[in-house]
């Protein structure tokens, strides 16, 4: 049943709503969601197709955002320079793809998915406003990650010690940005699916 759009103001920066402060979708926002629990999605007759495809895109983003800090830690702990040289281009390649993929995905959601959902389901205005706020924070984190990737050396020439130090310095800058993105993606993507998949299953 269609519910009325919310009349109150939504404050993204409140601890209950901000992606780096909330630990769940707030009870208030949950009241406006359609209820189909996550474990029932795969067996739902409308899950195949767009909803399933969208969760697969998310799974790909989450795999990449988990691998990037893991590989960066491997480089920090690498036993020798050959291992570092093998890992460095993989890290740079994965990071570049992840930033590109994430920007493209957010663009589609901001310009196509979310406006369409808002029109079809006005009751989701505040949850969608929260996801939009998340994307703005994610854009900052992706910029931070991209800057760290630009400074990260794919190949280093020179004496062994200088090469090791150059890679370790690159990894030290990259790791916090990669870890921050991964934590934000876990929160944002999980909540985004809880908000949007039950609505998609009604279409």
Contact residues toward Fe ion (CB under 5 A) are 109, 192
Residue 84 or 142: the one with the smaller Cβ distance to Fe ion is 142
Burial 49-86 (b: 16+ CB within 10 A, else e): eebeebbeebeebeebbebbbebbebbeebeeeeebbe
Least separation in angstroms between CB 45 and Fe ion:
23
Shorter beta-carbon distance to Fe ion: residue 109 or 182: 109
Closer by beta carbon to Fe ion, 114 or else 152: 114
CB of 188 to Fe ion, least distance (A): 6
Beta carbon nearer to Fe ion, 126 or 163: 126
Complex with Fe ion: residue 192 or 194, whichever CB lies closer: 192
Q: Give least dist CB 68 to Fe ion, A.
A: 18
Report the nearest approach of Fe ion to the CB of residue 187 (Å).
Answer: 11
Smallest gap from Cβ 16 to Fe ion, in A, equals 19
């Amino acid at each position: 049943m269609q519910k009325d759009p919310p009349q109150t103001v939504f404050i993204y920066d409140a601890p209950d709503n901000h992606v780096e402060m909330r630990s769940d979708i707030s009870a208030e926002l949950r009241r406006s969601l359609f209820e189909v629990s996550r474990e029932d999605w795969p067996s739902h007759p409308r899950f195949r197709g767009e909803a399933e495809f969208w969760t697969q895109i998310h799974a790909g983003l989450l795999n990449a955002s988990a691998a990037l800090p893991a590989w960066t830690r491997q480089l920090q702990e690498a036993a020798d320079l050959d291992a570092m040289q093998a890992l460095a281009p993989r890290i740079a390649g994965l990071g570049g793809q992840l930033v590109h993929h994430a920007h493209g995905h957010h663009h589609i959601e901001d310009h196509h998915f979310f406006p369409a959902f808002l029109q079809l389901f006005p009751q989701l205005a505040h949850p969608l406003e929260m996801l939009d706020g998340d994307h703005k924070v994610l854009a900052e984190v992706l910029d931070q990650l991209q800057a760290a990737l630009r400074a990260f050396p794919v190949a280093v020439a020179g004496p062994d010690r200088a090469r090791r130090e150059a890679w370790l310095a690159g990894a030290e800058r990259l790791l916090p940005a990669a870890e921050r993105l991964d934590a934000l993606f876990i929160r944002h993507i999980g909540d985004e699916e809880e908000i949007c998949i039950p609505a998609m299953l009604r279409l």
